[in-house]
Amino acid sequence: MSSTLQKNAKPHSSELEETPPVVSPRQIRIKHVVVAFVLSIVFFFLFCFVALHAYIAWVLSNPTVASVYSNPMQAKGMAYEDVTFPAADDSRMMQGWYIPAEQKSSKTIVFSHGYGANREETWIPMYDLAHYAHKLNFNVIMFDYGFAAKTNKEVATGGKKESQQLLGAIQLAKQKGSQEIVVWGFSMGAGTALQAGLKTKDVTAMILDSTFLLEPDTLYYNIQQQLDLPRHPSLEILEFLLPIVNGTSLNQIPYQQVKKEDYPFPIFFIHGTNDDKAPYQIAEQLAANQTNPDSGSWVIQGAHHELEFREHPREYLRKVSDFLSSLNLAEEEDVNNEPLLNDELSNSPSDTSSSTAKDANSK
């Protein structure tokens, strides 16, 4: 009887519990090593990703700029004087050249060079355009932005500091007696001109070639030309790093205001559809905002960034001259002076202008 009870008795609950597997100290160490190894790989790649963006931010802020190799007299036989003048906010002293007109003149063209260049900007080439402006009896100012300075070089800030430096050049033109001041800007120098135009009433007109405006879209557009990085989080990382590297955040650049501004003075936009640094749609949008009847744009099919003059020299000078003539800043006989055009183009690339160049003049 007792044996039967023993057989029918249910096992104690403790007997049902399985004994947990015993993990040896060696297995625990291996697990920790694997986790640490995986995390180290993840953190390594994160570090490399952030470091790459830090390098991009540093390169953008510290462009390599060649030294000035000539001067207006050597290059084009134009008499000039070396000038120093303060930026409008007195943050630094600027260096440049003042080229007086051959006949006394109250009109001045201030050239605003692009990123990674100095006042000579040889690929345009700037001396040719300065000489042409000089022949139209303009005084000419050519100067270096802080990031291109020979001494006390600064980082590039996308126009934040540069706009104050350009305003200093405009003040210099006024001090020299100019009453009509035209800013002729290229690439970031054109975007800088638009930023300066928000802060001054001393500008008569602007000619803007290959306008580059530093904003998230153009920043990523340029990065994509070199590296296939994801838009996010690349932009967020760069927006975090730029203030650390050059002291300027994108929010300090008034690109949103510039993109919707209707400027009180006429602007002539020049841009190429094959621009790989500043999409031509930016120029079209900026031009569309202008209501000044003398404003306009010329979008050239197939032209490249800052190479519009090289690729279409004759038509380029005619368009610019027509714009200046419409403002009574160039005489009609000068605009239609074929020997003057031929003389200026004698040392420039051959005129490749054709029917492919699309005139998109608009208000």
Which distant-in-sequence residues (6+ apart) come within 8 Å of 189 by Cβ?
Answer: 111, 112, 113, 114, 115, 145, 162, 166
Residue 124 to residue 305: CA distance in whole angstroms: 10
Say what the pLDDT of residue 27 is: 80
The residue among 140, 180, 133, 142 whose CA lies nearest residue 340 is 133
What is the model's pTM? 0.86
Per DSSP, the residues of 49-104 read HHHHHHHHHHHHHS---PPP---HHHHH----EEEEEE-TTSS-EEEEEEE--SS-
Confidence check: pLDDT of 217 > 90:
yes
* pLDDT digit string, tens, across residues 26-42: 888 888 888 888 999 99
Question: How far is it between the farthest Cα atoms of the chain?
Answer: 136
Confidence check: pLDDT of 109 > 90:
yes
Say what the pLDDT of residue 354 is: 34
Provide the percentage of residues in the chain whose pLDDT is more than 70. 86
* pLDDT digit string, tens, across residues 43-73: 999 999 999 999 999 999 999 999 999 999 9
Give the chain's domains with CATH numbers: 74-214+263-345 (3.40.50.1820), 216-252 (no CATH)
Q: How many degrees, rounded to 5, is the angle at CA 339 between CA 334 and CA 341?
A: 65
Confidence check: pLDDT of 13 > 80:
no
* pLDDT digit string, tens, across residues 144-194: 999 999 989 999 999 999 999 999 999 999 999 999 999 999 999 999 999
Where do runs of H (alpha helix) occur along 176-279? 188-197, 216-226, 231-246, 255-260
* pLDDT digit string, tens, across residues 291-319: 999 999 999 999 999 999 999 999 999 99
Q: Chain-wide mean pLDDT for the chain?
A: 89
Say what the pLDDT of residue 50 is: 94
